[in-house]
Amino acid sequence: MKTYQALWRLIRFTPGLYAIDLFFQLFRSLILLLPGVLAYNMFNIITANRPIGWDLWTLGALLVGAAIARVVSMLSSTGMDAICGEHGNALVRRNIFGQLISRIGAQELPASPGELVSRFDADTESLTNTIAYTFMNIGSLLQALGALVIMLVMQPLTTLVVFIPLIGSSLLMTRLSRRIQEYHRESRKAAGAVSSFMGEMFSTPQAIQLANAQPRVLAHLRELNNTRRRTTLRSLFFTSVVLSNVASNTANLGTGLLLLMSAQAIQHGTFTVGGLALFISYQFWVISIVASLIQNLTFYKQAGVSLQRLQEALPAGIPSETVIAHQPVYLRGAYPEIRLLEREMPKLEHLEVNGLTYLYPRSSNGVAGINLRLRRGTTTVITGRIGSGKSTLLRTIMGLLPRQAGEIRWNGEPVLRPEHVFVPPQSAYTPQVPRLASETLRQNILMGYPEEPVHLEAAIHAAVMEADIVALEQGLDTIVGPKGTKLSGGQIQRAAAARMFVREPDLLIFDDLSSALDVETEQQLWQRLFTRGDCTYLLVSHRRYALQHADQVIVLKDGHIEAQGKLENLLESCAEMCALWNGE
Ligand SMILES: Nc1ncnc2c1ncn2[C@@H]1O[C@H](COP(=O)(O)OP(=O)(O)OP(=O)(O)O)[C@@H](O)[C@H]1O
């Protein structure tokens, strides 16, 4: 998508608001022509030694009126810019965020979280600010054209001479614009690197402390910040200092030439003091519009850089137009109701996996030719050595990794989009390291799910959390800290389990749920799970209790199923199972 197409799409998102914005910009600019004409008449009256009569006072009143109208229209246009920008920024951020959270589970983020935050912030605003600046310049251009016509009619020769310096400054600014675009790109990249590194620092403070790496981490941050300072300074220096100085000095040169020419013309009686006043006020706009247009072009090019960075923030395979796809944004009033996911599939009776294969790109690691069958109300435990492919198998079944071969059938029906089926209300999953947010424990369990006291209590009981909640300072309303740092590893695992239970899925998938639990709590947890009735369980576990109570155990070795069946049979027939059972 080209930059102009993106900007036009943003304008079309709120055309009414942008029309009002443009109206205020035009009014604000054109009203500025009035004081020049008024000053022309006032000075001509004064220098002709006419007595100060009604005419002069009227002109003065008009001058004040024009100034008030200008201030009001300036405030209105600035306000409209902010409102339009707010809508456009919200749209872009919503679109990218929506794509990021609905990407296939295990797909990498296109950039680090810190870098993405930086793009959400400054790159988004670069687009909407360019529109605001362009609208302002449309007004300024009309104002400058109006001024130019009036000046040419009054004094064609003086007008042409006054604009000679403009030619030189225009050439200079055009040459600088490419360099400014490059500097902007570098400064945005350096800002992204700083926020990315800070995001990583804040997410791993303990790892930094344990490695005693604070001085080196700070030194690296300082280095990144220095690069950002240098590149940002250079970019700002060229955008703000050089460009605006070229513009104002060109205007000053024009004024000097004007004074020289008008002195002679006034002596010869071909020019008046009123005319000089008008020329001085108008020539600045005509000269500065060139600088403004060149600066506008620079912003446009910077917006192109930002648009590219935003498009690159989309997950792979998503069309670039999605960045500005029109969708409702909710900035005022009530938020729309969040609907619970509806059932895609009937209640689970049996699940079959046939010939399932997923190998990681450019590697032979993964799982291949997996066949298994789960029946409703049974427990299946997947076990195997470290790296045998247990997590990969679960994630491929659920569509978090894209399968390369094989099929999955839910009650005999092929599952074409597993990522839509293996979610509540059909299924729920807890990964090896569950994630909690820095919210209350209640919010972490419910995650937007409607609170029904009975379900919540039952879920907490099933997760063996009732005693922990009594011991917590504010019970369910305790804020658990970033990633749940105020809870123990076992509490985090059980909070994640309660999150699954409250959704009452048919199929519960756990990846090593009890790794951080003591033996007693673990046994209680399995006991409660296995007496929950109608649920079907698919677990990754090495724990003896789980293996002993499983209806079937699947032994994985090097990404293949080595054996499957009841534990007692496997202990007789499968050397790998014996080795795992004996902890070899
Ligand atoms: N993104 C990846 N790219 C390449 N290889 C990977 C990737 N992720 C995992 N692997 C490899 O795939 C194999 C299976 O990994 P997996 O995490 O499924 O094993 P696991 O049995 O769950 O291990 P653990 O018991 O440690 O959880 C391992 O050899 C692992 O190193």
The residue contributing the CA closest to ligand 1 atom 3 is 360
Does residue 366's CB lie within 6 angstroms of at least one atom of ligand 1?
A: yes
Mean pLDDT computed over 240-259? 78
157 lies in the same domain as 15: yes
Q: Could you tell me if 229 and 187 are in contact, meaning their C-beta atoms sit under 8 angstroms apart?
A: no
Is the predicted pLDDT of residue 105 greater than 80, yes or no? no
Question: Is the pLDDT confidence value at 175 over 80?
Answer: no
- Lowest mean pLDDT: which of 14-23, 330-339, 556-565? 330-339
Average pLDDT over residues 196-205: 83
- Report whether residue 363 contacts ligand 1, using a CB cutoff of 6 Å: yes
Mean pLDDT throughout 446-471? 84
Please, which residues bridge with residue 540 across strands? Answer: 382, 511
Q: What is the mean pLDDT of residues 134-145?
A: 92
Note whether residue 269 is domain-resident.
yes
Using 50, 70 and 90 to split pLDDT, how confident is the model at 384?
very high
Mutation probe of ligand 1 site: the residue of 364, 391, 541, 561 with most atoms within 8 A of C-beta: 391
Highest averaged pLDDT of the listed ranges 18-22, 146-150, 295-299, 318-322: 18-22
In the chain, the amino acid numbered 410 is W
* DSSP result, 151-165: HHHH-HHHHHHHTHH
Residue where a domain terminates, one of 324, 344, 362: 324
Tell me, yes or no, whether 422 and 560 share the same domain: yes
Residue 106's pLDDT is 60
Q: Is the CB of 541 under 6 A from ligand 1?
A: no
Domain shared by 316 and 433, yes or no: no
Q: How far is ligand 1, taken at its centre, from the CA of residue 209, in Å?
A: 27
Distance 561 CA to ligand 1 centre (A): 15
Is 245 buried (19+), middle (13-18) or exposed (0-12) by CB count in 10 A?
Answer: exposed
Of 46-60, 64-78, 330-344, which gets the smallest average pLDDT?
Answer: 46-60
Cα(256) to centroid(ligand 1), Å? 75
274, 423: one domain: no
Q: Please name the residue whose Cα sits nearest to atom 4 of ligand 1.
A: 360
Q: Is the pLDDT of residue 153 over 70?
A: yes
Residue 369: pLDDT band with limits 50, 70, 90: very high
Last residue of a domain, one of 283, 299, 324: 324
Q: How many domains would you assign to the chain?
A: 2
- Average pLDDT over the chain, rounded to whole? 86
Residue to mutate (ligand 1; options 388, 401, 513; most atoms within 8 A of CB): 388
Provide the domain limits for residue 451: 379-385+417-581
Ligand 1 centroid to residue 102 C-alpha, Å: 24
User: pLDDT band for position 404 (50/70/90)?
Assistant: very high
CA of 392 to the centre of ligand 1 (A): 6
Q: 451's torsion region: left (phi>0), alpha (psi -120 to 50) or beta?
A: beta
Count other Cβ atoms within 10 Å, centred on residue 469. Answer: 19
| Ligand 1 atom closest to the CA of 395, numbered from 1 | 18
Check whether residue 436 and residue 561 sit in a common domain.
yes
Which pLDDT tens digit goes with each residue over 342-354?
Answer: 788 899 999 999 9
Ligand 1 binding pocket includes 365 (Cβ within 6 Å): yes
> What is the residue with the minimal CA distance to atom 11 of ligand 1?
365
Q: Does residue 136 sit in the same domain as residue 272?
A: yes
Establish if 142 belongs to a structural domain. yes
Q: Is the CB of 88 under 6 A from ligand 1?
A: no
Q: Any idea which of 6-15, 181-190, 319-328, 368-377 has the lowest mean pLDDT?
A: 181-190
For residue 425, whether the previous peptide bond is cis, meaning omega lies within 30 degrees of 0, is yes
**Is the predicted pLDDT of residue 52 greater than 60, yes or no?**
no
Residue 546 has a CB neighbour count (10 Å cut-off) of 26
Edge-to-edge strand ranges of the sheet holding 379-384: 427-430, 507-511, 536-540, 379-384, 552-557, 560-565
Mutating to test ligand 1, I would choose from 359, 362, 390, 395 the residue with most ligand atoms within 8 A of its C-beta, which is 390
Burial 329-365 (b: 16+ CB within 10 A, else e): beeeeeeeeeeeeeeebeebeebbbeebebbeeeeee
Please indicate, yes or no, whether the overall pTM of this predicted structure exceeds 0.80. Answer: no
How far does residue 389's CA lie from ligand 1's centre (Å)? 6
Indicate the top mutation candidate among 109, 357, 364, 365 to test ligand 1's pocket, ranked by most ligand atoms within 8 A of CB.
365
Domain membership of residue 186 (yes or no) is: yes
**Structural domain includes residue 80:** yes
Q: What is the CATH number of the domain that holds 211?
A: 1.20.1560.10
| Pocket flag, ligand 1, residue 383 (CB < 6 Å) | no
Residue 427 within a domain: yes
Q: What is the pLDDT of residues 501-511, one digit of tens each?
A: 988 899 999 99
Is residue 211 one of the residues assigned to a domain?
Answer: yes
Domain boundary at 293, 324, 355, which?
A: 324
Please tell me whether residues 315 and 437 are part of one structural domain: no
Could you tell me if 314 and 457 lie in one domain? Answer: no
Which atom of ligand 1 lies nearest, measured to the CA of 512?
27
* 134 and 267 co-located in one domain: yes
Whether the predicted pLDDT of 286 surpasses 60:
yes
Name the residue at shortest CA distance from atom 28 of ligand 1.
Answer: 387
Task: Quote the pLDDT of residue 449.
Answer: 79
- If one compares 474 and 451, the residue with the highest pLDDT of the two is 474
The CA-based diameter of the chain, rounded to the nearest angstrom, is 121
The percentage of residues in the chain with a pLDDT greater than 90, rounded to a whole number, is 38
Residue pair 252/283 in contact (Cβ under 8 Å)? The answer is no
* DSSP per residue, 99-115: HHHTS-TTSPPSS-HHH
Instruction: Examine the pLDDT at 476 and tell me if it is beyond 80.
Output: yes
- Using left for φ > 0, alpha for ψ between -120 and 50, and beta otherwise, residue 124 falls in alpha
Residue 141 tokens read as 């251009």
- Taking only the tens place, the pLDDT of each residue in 317-336 is 889 899 999 999 998 888 88
pLDDT given for residue 455 in this prediction: 80
**CA-closest candidate to residue 166, choices 290, 278, 285, 257:** 290
Q: List phi, psi (to 5°) of 333.
A: 75, -160
Quick one: pLDDT at residue 54?
Answer: 55
The pLDDT of residue 349: 93
Q: Is 350 part of a structural domain of the chain?
A: no
Angle between helices 243-267 and 164-203 (to 10 degrees): 160
Protein residue with least CA distance to atom 14, ligand 1: 389
For 472-494, what is the mean pLDDT?
A: 84
Phi then psi for residue 259, to 5 deg, are -65, -45
Quote the pLDDT of residue 66. 83
Cβ–ligand 1 contact at 392 (below 6 Å): yes
Residue 277 has what pLDDT? 82
Report the separation in Å between the CA atom of 558 and the middle of ligand 1, taken as the mean of its atom positions.
Answer: 10
- CA 382–ligand 1 middle distance (angstroms): 14
Which numbered atom of ligand 1 lies nearest the CA of 366? 12
Secondary structure letter of residue 373 according to DSSP: E
Point out the ligand 1 atom lying closest to the alpha carbon of residue 386: 25
Specify the 3-state DSSP secondary structure of 379. strand
pLDDT of residue 260: 83
Cα–Cα separations (whole angstroms), residue 15 to 127, 255, 385: 16, 40, 61
13 domain residue, yes or no = yes
* 161 and 304 belong to one structural domain: yes
- Tell me which long-range contacts 565-569 makes (C-beta under 8 A, separation of at least 24): none
Task: Judge if 168 and 299 occupy the same domain.
Answer: yes
Q: Which of 76-90, 162-176, 521-535 has the lowest mean pLDDT?
A: 162-176
* CATH number, domain with residue 510: 3.40.50.300
Range in 125-129, 223-227, 392-396, 399-403 the model is least confident about: 399-403
Which residue has the least CA distance to atom 7 on ligand 1? 360
Nearest CA-CA partner of 105 in 395, 366, 356, 510: 395
Whether the pLDDT of residue 168 is over 70: the answer is yes
More confident residue, 392 or 179: 392
390 lines ligand 1 (CB under 6 A): yes
ipTM of the complex: 0.97
Q: How far is the CA of 366 from the centre of ligand 1 (A)?
A: 7
How many Å lie between the centroid of ligand 1 and the Cα of residue 582?
23
pLDDT at 50: 56
